[in-house]
Structure 1
């Protein structure tokens, strides 16, 4: 099993693919205000839930979802919701893809596709039309991290900001928050235990081979150990709706 297969199974029961509850997702998307005929893009869309909620809330908007490995479930749910003619799913590298400017740019939990926070924000700006809105979800430290937390992530401690540092990063790129949400511990636990639980259920009930079963169980155990052994109560997640306030050309 490759990483994308494990990812798809892990999100079977939590397609939002971030530690954000469904009602909070809807609240965040509700702060977006695209005009009729607007275009939205989700960079690193994963299961596509964020983009689909934008399209459900704004029937005159079309969207594009970009990810290097798109799960079949994204297209399936699009069809179930009657959105097929308003969205394109494109399997490619979000860091190099380009199709002009968009009224709304989403990027939730996908900094890895760009190499880091700053590069991700540069990419968001490159796709965002002047005066547009962005919806960005990003890791933060809840406090000063222990040595175990950055080691569990495999990242330098200073590559993840605290909440204030994240807002400062937005300002450096001409983005002003209009609304934000910091994921609760309950949201984190729901997400993490759904991630590992979906893999365990699949391994026990549906794995076609013993090798697949063992790989899924190993992935679930490693992920759970990382969460409980170094990240829980230290790693946070913040999602912001942002307005472009960068000065225009003189």
Structure 2
């Protein structure tokens, strides 16, 4: 799916991951955020975490994303929260962003470890940005149990993309970071992430001429994602934000 298709699908989502506002606030509490701390968020989407934490805790920072549609929503949210002077949003390839070394207290990438070609590579993208003692936040899927072969195609993954929770811990340890906390999505979080997309796509299809070039792809995306989630995702696919500290 193209970026444009994701912009259509996630039009009604504020948080572009299976994470509720309550769990996002919990994550901020876990990180012991303080006024004046700086936060780098790669693949920041609509900036809900960065802007929300700036409002609640007095933090600041930088969000980076490829989508101008998402970044426009992020800037509007920052203005709504009165934190436009504290947070900035930059359009660009998050995998190529060069932060000032050791200048952030929090460095995060939630649900987009493809920017570093996987978990280990994304950790290495975030590591140089952190000040000593800083925390790294990675949002990553995992398997509740080993799925059948047909689930991989249905969920758009490869067999070695993700592992179990304990296997994810092994990957963190191999990458030289310690897992110090975590906030895991539950079934309702997944439903509230995916189901609004079905409605958004349905509404887009309803008001878009049938000969529009994006219509076939959006119909396929809707059918594929809906069936994959209901058939396999709810049983096998987990997701969490893992709070890490580099060794």
Fold match (TM-score > 0.5): yes
Q: Residues 22-44 of structure 1, C-alpha deviation per residue, up to 9 Å, x if partnerless?
A: 11111112211244432111011
Question: Which stretch has the larger CA shift, 116-125 or 33-42?
Answer: 33-42
The Cα of 1:139 is off from its aligned counterpart by: 0.7
SS across alignment from 2:62: strand
* TM-score, scaled to structure 1: 0.87
Deviation at 1:73, TM superposition (A): 1.3
Paired residues of 2:55 and 2:82 also in contact (CA < 8 A): no
Match 1:147 to one of 142, 146, 149: 149
**Farther-moved stretch of structure 1 (32-41 vs 45-54):** 32-41
After TM superposition, list the pairs within 5 Å mapping 1:31-42 onto structure 2: 31-42=30-41
Match of 1:228 in 2: 230
Query: d(CA) in 2 for partners of 1:112 and 1:166?
Result: 16
d(CA) in 1 for partners of 2:83, 2:5? 26
TM-score (normalizing by structure 2): 0.88
The alpha carbon displacement at 1:162 in A equals 0.9
Name the counterpart of 1:55.
Answer: 54
Q: How many residue pairs are counted as aligned between the two chains?
A: 242
User: Aligned-pair distance for 1:57?
Assistant: 2.4
Unaligned runs of 5+ in 1: none
After superposition, the C-alpha distances for 1:150-178 in whole angstroms (9 at most, x for unaligned) are 22344431220211121222233343333
Contact kept in structure 2, 1:28 and 1:240, CA below 8 Å: no
Tell me if 1:93 matches 2:69. Answer: no
Secondary structure of residue in 2 paired with 1:157: coil
Structure 2 counterpart SS, 1:18: coil
- Counterpart CA distance in 2 for 1:243 and 1:117 is 15
Q: Hey, what's the Cα distance between the residues in 2 that align with 1:174 and 1:125?
A: 10
TM-superposed deviation, 1:214: 5.1
Q: Check conservation: 1:125, 1:173, Cα contact below 8 A.
A: no
Residue 208 and residue 78 in structure 1: after superposition, are their counterparts in 2 closer, same or farther (change >3 A)? farther
Mapped contact 1:181–1:239 kept (Cα < 8 A): yes
Match of 1:27 in 2: 26
User: 5+ residue gaps in structure 2?
Assistant: none
Cα deviation for residue 126 of structure 1 reads 2.4
Residue pair 2:201, 2:222 contacting (<8 A) in 1 also: yes
Q: What is the match of residue 110 of structure 2? A: 108
